[in-house]
């Protein structure tokens, strides 16, 4: 049985009850497409618990937003491979030599390198065009540690609106991000990497999504959120390098909100 920590005192929705993970999902965590470095972070990121809380099933069509290096993609794709479908968003791999294009190129290479990832489809997502698929085509959309980038960039409302469009009625939007203790300005979000639950809930509400449940699966009470380099002072980034390295290692990865939204039926 997977345990969910006590409720974070924010809003009116209490923490979800514990739920048992699908054994097939737990087994996927050992799949060979995942790197040792990715598996080492399971203790902080709690992937089986998080995806179980979101309500992931093997026959779903899931859209993963801005997957970065593919940490969650390497879990979602094998789990959905036989019965479901996974789409991920991508910048233009042939675009300018910015971080988004470099990540897109690396992800394209990774997808081609394994039969466990070969059914993943990509959809373009940039500041000018956010179209995640046909309207009402996805059972679930997930995003991990991206909203703190969208808010200062000014794209968060458009992304949330696109999520609402692609979801089926009753579909789920699963969110995880670094949790601030209060609402922050756009600059503070940009500088620290943290964002409040209230700010995320407001974005979802404005897009027509409803908060269904919250979880403390990814909470970390050791995270004081007051570091010289913001959340990037903590592992795995260690932006300060050797300065206070042991202190940040003892704290671990950030305190994170884990929220489940639904598109009304």
- Among 89, 211, 179, 85, which residue's Cα sits nearest to residue 140? 85
Question: Residue 253: pLDDT above 60?
Answer: yes
Question: Residue 7: pLDDT above 90?
Answer: no
Strand ranges (E), the chain? 61-65, 85-90, 121-126, 129-130, 138-144, 167-178, 210-215, 256-262
Q: What percent of the chain has pLDDT over 70?
A: 92
Q: How many whole angstroms separate alpha carbon 69 and alpha carbon 237?
A: 14
CA distances from 39 to 118, 146, 199 (A): 21, 21, 31
Average pLDDT on 148-152 reads 97
Model confidence, pTM = 0.92
Which residue in the block uniquely carries the two structure tokens 């998080």?
A: 50
pLDDT digits (tens, 9 = 90+) for 80-135: 999 999 999 988 777 766 778 888 899 999 999 899 999 999 998 876 678 899 99
CB 88 within 8 A of CB 122: yes
Average pLDDT on 174-194 reads 98
pLDDT score at 68: 93
- Among 81, 191, 88, 93, which residue's Cα sits nearest to residue 132? 88
């Amino acid at each position: 049985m997977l345990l969910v920590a006590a409720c974070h005192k924010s809003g009116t929705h209490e923490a979800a009850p514990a739920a048992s993970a699908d054994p097939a999902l737990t087994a996927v965590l050992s799949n060979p497409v995942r790197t040792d470095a990715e598996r080492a972070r399971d203790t902080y990121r709690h992937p089986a618990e998080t995806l179980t809380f979101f309500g992931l099933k093997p026959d779903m069509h899931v859209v993963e937003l801005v997957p970065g290096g593919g940490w969650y993609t390497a879990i979602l794709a094998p789990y959905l491979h036989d019965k479901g479908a996974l789409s991920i968003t991508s910048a233009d791999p042939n675009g300018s030599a910015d971080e988004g294009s470099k990540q897109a190129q690396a992800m394209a290479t990774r997808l081609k390198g394994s039969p466990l990832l070969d059914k993943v489809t990509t959809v373009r997502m940039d500041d000018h065009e956010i179209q995640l698929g046909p309207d009402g085509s996805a059972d679930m959309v997930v995003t991990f540690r991206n909203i703190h980038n969208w808010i200062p960039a000014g794209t968060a409302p458009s992304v949330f609106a696109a999520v609402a469009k692609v979801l089926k009625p009753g579909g789920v939007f699963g969110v995880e991000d670094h949790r601030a203790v209060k609402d922050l300005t756009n600059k503070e979000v940009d500088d620290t990497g943290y964002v409040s639950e209230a700010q995320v809930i407001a974005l979802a509400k404005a897009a027509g999504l409803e908060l269904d449940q919250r979880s403390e699966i990814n909470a970390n009470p050791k995270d004081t959120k007051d570091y010289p380099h913001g959340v990037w002072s903590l592992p795995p980034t260690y932006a300060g390098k050797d300065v206070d390295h042991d202190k940040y290692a003892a704290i671990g990865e950030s305190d994170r909100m884990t929220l489940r939204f639904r598109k009304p039926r």
